[in-house]
Structure formats: structure tokens, C-alpha cells
Amino acid sequence: MTSDISLSNLRVLVVEDEALIAMLLEDYLGEFGATIVGPASNLVDGHRLIESGGFDVALLDLNLGRGVTSYDLATELANRSVPFAFAFGADSYSLQDPFKSRPVLQKPFALADLERTLKELVAAARADR
């Protein structure tokens, strides 16, 4: 059950190319007592932050502009067994294999949507231990 999961002190890697959405995520995470790592707005910065570590879960904007996707980052996170969700305007059926089963935070999202997604990621991390 995810309702009893606290998000306080959760460190969330955010990869988001739109500054306003990244700022909104930072505000929302702050309301939960969580901390944003990044945000990264491109693949290079995303890879650098993944390599540096120091986060518990990740939120990846699927489309990083100009036809660039975050699938490379998703593969890296999956290889490291880091729970992550994609954030974009469609559902999981739009994802490429092998990511179709990954959580999706549909844009535009509300505070409750973000909270539910993060709690699912924390629950997944606990289950993998």
C-alpha cells in the first residue's frame, strides 16, 4: 500500500527540458519534503547526474526536444536498478519496448498525480531490496 509511504527526504533526479515544468516539479517536490537532483535539461547533463548518483528515484521527460528522447537515460537507470517514471503527454502504450511497463506521469499533471507516481517508485525500490 502506497498511502503510508513518506516522500520526506526523497531525492528525485529530474530530467526535463522545459524550465517552467522543472520549476513546478521543484516546488511540488518541496511540498512533499523531497529534494530535486538537477534538473537536467539534456542527455549530457542527465548522464552526468546519473553517473554522480545521490538520488533515490528519477522522473524523465520522454521528449527532450528536437527529436531527442530520454530512452538512453532510462536504459542507464534500469541497468542500475533505479526506479523511474516517464513524464509526457501520452500513456504507457506509447512507450517503446522494453519500457512499456514503466510508470508514466501524464502531462499536464497535478500535485496528487506526482505524489502517487513517486510513491509507486518508492514502493518499487523497497520491493527490489
Q: What is the CATH number of the domain that holds 100?
A: 3.40.50.2300
- pLDDT of 121 higher than 70: yes
Contact between 16 and 46 under an 8 Å Cβ cutoff? The reply is: no
Asked if residue 56 belongs to a domain, the reply is: yes
Asked if residue 1 belongs to a domain, the reply is: no
pLDDT for the residue 127? 83
What residues make up the domain containing 42?
11-128
pLDDT digits (tens, 9 = 90+) for 53-76: 999 999 999 999 889 999 999 999
Residue of 30, 28, 49 lying closest to 38 (CA atoms): 49
Residue 124's pLDDT band, with cuts at 50, 70 and 90, is confident
Asked if residue 122 belongs to a domain, the reply is: yes
